[in-house]
Amino acid sequence: MVGVTTAATADTDVAHSAATDGNGISRAGYALLRGAVPADWLDELRATFDRCVLPSDQWPVPRQLSWRHSLLDLDPKVQAVCRLPALLAAVGVLIGERFFLSQVEGREPLAGGGYQGLHRDLSAHRPGDTVGALVFFDDYGPANGATRIVPGSHRAAPGEPPFDLTDESRAVQVAGAAGDILVFDADLAHAGCLNPSGARRRSLLICYFADPLHASHLETARLRGVRMDTSERFDFDNHLSSCIPARCSSALPAMRWATDRPGPHGQLITSRIP
Ligand SMILES: O=C(O)CCC(=O)C(=O)O
């Protein structure tokens, strides 16, 4: 692959609360939340992923053959991951209005597979109304097909043409540890990469939609393999705490977040303090 660099690696010191610098996330189009998933959840999440793997031809619509897919949206721990406070805060900053969890499934690039061209998942009615998140269950990087992104590619600057998806020169392949979460605007250019080693790279791919998209979401939910209840709403009014439903925050272990500085592309990188 041409022009892919590894960034945001040895930055365990870099930390920032997702809600304190919405402009940073909005400008970069993504946030990398380091250590967002409590470490003692990971074994259970990996076991759930493996238990729920479903072959491509058993999904309502066949899946990419160079990937392993896991139908795990009903699992309570997976649902808890989708509601982690920092994740909801970052999603709230990007969507900027009331939103809901629309989809979550497990994905893993197989040995020799996983390569995708840069693409957008695409917003629906307005830029910013759809946000994706990748939750890594294994350490990830160039050796096992970690995701690449093009920072800032979700919005063209005034007078500039939209980002050219064939241009790999600004692509950055993320790398990090199990438990990190990459949150991104659906219009950000991104893609899976070749998994050259076959080392495991289990992840959740989560999708959040702005509230007005719920009716259209319901029309296609079954085709997308969505079985979970999507009636819960998350409010965003520019404060981290208001983005977190009380029942979720009380169900989660206490978390402290260091506040420091944005990452190299203006994105926010948060680290959980043990
Ligand atoms: O898992 C990844 O690295 C990216 C997956 C993705 O963008 C997709 O399947 O559309």
The domain that contains 246 carries what CATH number?
A: 2.60.120.620
- Give me the pLDDT at residue 162, please: 87
Q: 252 and 85 in contact (C-beta within 8 Å)?
A: yes
Question: Which ligand 1 atom is nearest residue 145's CA?
Answer: 3
Mean per-residue pLDDT over the chain, rounded: 82
Domain span holding position 129: 5-273
Residue 209 to residue 248: CA distance in whole angstroms: 19
Question: Which ligand 1 atom is nearest residue 109's CA?
Answer: 1
Q: State whether the beta carbon of 134 lies less than 6 angstroms from ligand 1.
A: yes
How many folded domains does the chain comprise? 1
How remote is the CA of residue 250 from the centroid of ligand 1, in Å?
31
* Residue appearing with tokens 């206490």: 254
Which of 116, 144, 187 has most ligand 1 atoms within 8 Å of CB, for mutation?
116
Q: Please check the confidence at residue 256 and state whether its pLDDT lies above 60.
A: no
How remote is the CA of residue 254 from the centroid of ligand 1, in Å?
30
Segment 73-107, tens digit of pLDDT = 999 999 999 999 889 989 998 999 999 999 999 99
What is the pTM (predicted TM-score) of this model? 0.83
Contacts of 76 (CB under 8 A, 6+ apart): none
